[in-house]
Amino acid sequence: MKLYHSPASPYVRKVMVSALHLGLAEGIERIAASPSPVKPDPVLSAQNPLGKLPAAVLSDGTLLVGSRTICEYLAAQGSDPTWLPAPGPARWAVLELHDLGDGILDAALVARYETFVRPEAFRWADWVSGQMLKIDTALARLDSMTDRLQGQLNLGNVTVGCALGYLDFRFAHHDWRTANPRLAAWWADFDQIPVMAQTRPA
Amino acid sequence: MKLYHSPASPYVRKVMVSALHLGLAEGIERIAASPSPVKPDPVLSAQNPLGKLPAAVLSDGTLLVGSRTICEYLAAQGSDPTWLPAPGPARWAVLELHDLGDGILDAALVARYETFVRPEAFRWADWVSGQMLKIDTALARLDSMTDRLQGQLNLGNVTVGCALGYLDFRFAHHDWRTANPRLAAWWADFDQIPVMAQTRPA
């Protein structure tokens, strides 16, 4: 599998944690890419017409777009049925965590584009506030369900971890820990797990 | 299942087409919501902390966020194994179409927020151009693979249909048909299928 990759992308991190956990990392050929919404990477766009990371191309030419699909593909190649359980309550529970983590990332990326890609004259404070509110509301929900984050690694708790790691990386000024002490305590430990420590953003 | 719903949302449409096709629509209690990124809907946000549509709540309280997860849940309740095939090449092929359709929708929504939500003084033309380029590049890819869109309804071709229907609904001024005649011909027929005609945006 060819994987279009950037070490700073939290979605790529999810894919790499999945591959490491499932013992599939050696079968992945990484291709560096660094697209922006206003400056596409032509090598990446030739494969993924949406121009986004991560994207993967299988040996039969099938294109996998986005971390959700790539992680699902990896789960199907691996041998840990708890990573992403088969359809049923256990899967919906893992996906609930996954989707909350991914939603935090989506909002964080939107806020970052506003402050680091868009020229200053065109920035709109309400837009960033709206995204930060989504992040804070979702963090509060996760703080109320930290018991669900415990236990074996799976695509749910790892995605939440990648989201918190991204906040630490790009939003270090945003103190989310004071309001969410249980989540902060969980993350202090989870951040040290080898597959998380090995994939910290650079 | 409670579904937070808006008749104008193309992601909600995917969910409703899935439910109608799978014979599950009668089991869905629709709750109207109309959030914006800068003006959350408090009823929706109390359930989905990310404040976005669609969201669903199962009878055991599990939250399903986003059309991908909700459609996957519905597929598991239904009895059409080709709607979203089990892991294997057929699934990755359906998801390839799904993700291209969803990516077109994601870019179209970003472009629409820029032109209909953001105050005029803060709009950035390069941002919209970047999103429209993603849309056009993905449409060209789909035009080259219309043979893959034929055949039975599945989550892949329906998502592409919801994306094209959204372009017709909100971007009627953007002529994508001239450059993509095979895709346009496919859509002219697909748009008439009862589950698509029943769910046209209003």
CATH number of the domain enclosing B127: 1.20.1050.10
A72 and A93 in one domain? no
- Are B10 and B44 in a shared domain? yes
Q: Which of A56, A77, A98 is the last residue of a domain?
A: A77
Q: Which tens digit of pLDDT belongs to each residue from B36-63?
A: 999 999 999 999 999 999 999 999 999 9
pLDDT in tens, B81-102: 999 999 999 999 999 999 999 9
Residue-wise pLDDT for A30-74, tens only, equals 999 999 999 999 999 999 999 999 999 999 999 999 999 999 999
Same-domain status, A109 and A162 = yes
User: A120: which DSSP letter?
Assistant: G
Structure tokens at A40: 């596409």
Residue A72: closest CA among chain B residues belongs to which residue?
B87
ipTM of this complex: 0.98
pLDDT of residue B202: 80
- Per cent of chain B over pLDDT 90 is 100
Tell me how long chain A is.
202
Domain assignment present for B181: yes
Q: Is residue A123 part of a domain?
A: yes
State whether A70 and A115 are in the same domain.
no
Whether B65 contacts chain A with CB within 8 A = yes
Domain presence at residue A83: no
A142 & A45 share domain: no
pLDDT of the residue at A101: 98
Judge if pTM exceeds 0.90.
yes
Residue A202 has pLDDT above 90, yes or no: no
pLDDT over threshold 90, residue A135: yes
Residue position matching structure tokens 């991914």: A102
Q: How far is CA B73 from the centre of its chain?
A: 16
| pLDDT at B20 > cutoff 90 | yes
Same domain (yes/no): B182, B117:
yes
For A2-21, how does the pLDDT look when each residue is reduced to its tens digit (9 = 90+)? 999 999 999 999 999 999 99
Q: CATH number, domain at A33?
A: 3.40.30.10
Q: How far is CA A146 from CA A85, A185, B21, B59, B156, in A?
A: 20, 9, 37, 21, 35
Q: Are residues B118 and B171 in the same domain?
A: yes
- Shared domain check, A62 and A94: no
**Residue B181 to residue A148: CA distance in whole angstroms:** 50
Q: Do A135 and A102 share a domain, yes or no?
A: yes
Bridge pairing between strands A29-32 and A2-5: parallel
Task: Answer whether B124's CB lies under 8 Å from A119's CB.
Answer: yes
pLDDT of residue B42: 95
Identify the residue whose tokens are 């380029």: B133
Determine the average pLDDT of the residues in A108-114. Answer: 98
Contact (CB<8Å) A64/B92? yes
| Cα angle, residue B75 at apex, residues B71 and B78 outer, rounded to 5° | 135
From chain A residues 69-108, the ones with a CB under 8 A of any chain B CB are 69, 72-73, 75-76, 87-89, 92-93, 95-96, 99-100, 103-104, 107
Q: Which residue has the tokens 């909350």?
A: A100
CA–CA separation, B134 and B158 (whole Å): 20
Per the structure, how many domains does chain B have?
A: 2
Q: Is residue A202 part of a domain?
A: no
B67 lies in the same domain as B20? yes
| Whether residues B93 and B64 fall in one domain | no
* Residue B39, domain extent: 2-77
Instruction: Work out the percent of chain B whose per-residue pLDDT is above 70.
Output: 100
Contact between A95 and B124 using a beta-carbon 8 Å cutoff: no
Same domain, B185 and B116: yes
Q: Are B56 and B4 in contact (CB under 8 A)?
A: yes
Within 10 Å of residue A193's Cβ, how many Cβ atoms? 15
